[in-house]
Amino acid sequence: MDTTEKQEAAMRNFLRRHWKMTILAGIGIAIMVIVSIYVLLWVVSSSLVLGIIPDTLGAWSVGLLFGFFFILLFWELVFVASWAIPIAIVFWALWYRKLPEEERKELESPRKRSRDAGGGGGISAFVTLIWIVLVWFTGRWSITFNTWLVADFVYTWLVAFLIALVPLIIGGVIFLAWWMTKGSKTES
């Protein structure tokens, strides 16, 4: 039995032993998700009524998208995180922290991570950040999406990708030069 299978078996046994708390935590998570969805729907409908956001997608701009995201984030923090985080902390402090030490160690044993687990998230986030900066500096931040040409959209993403490649290319050239000089020094 490898480490992953041991971890899964330990988790199953833990959940079976503490089935009441598992059900309670599941109910709490379900309530949190339902409230989050209702807050999302409330913010969308309120923003439409107040004219904060346009009712057609073509009238949106990158600036409106970010503004709406921050409005939604604020209300989710107010109506969901304000009670969900304290409940999770109390749940941890009153129940999980008081479990026997061997039971917690069984769950917290170090996991063996594979090299390709979750790869690529950093690069795509970096490219997206570069794209946002490009949109800002090229003056497209407040321009609605229905006036964007497909070519503009594609070219902006392509330029962002190429800019993200620059540090990788420079690092590769430096590594190659180091590797080649290292090899020539050992031969002499």
Tens of pLDDT, residues 61-119: 999 999 999 999 999 999 999 999 999 999 888 887 888 888 777 777 655 555 555 55
Q: How many H helices and E strands in the chain?
A: 7, 0
Does pTM surpass 0.85? Answer: no
Angle of the 19-50 helix axis to the 82-94 helix axis, nearest 10: 170
Q: How far apart are CA 144 and CA 121, in angstroms?
A: 28
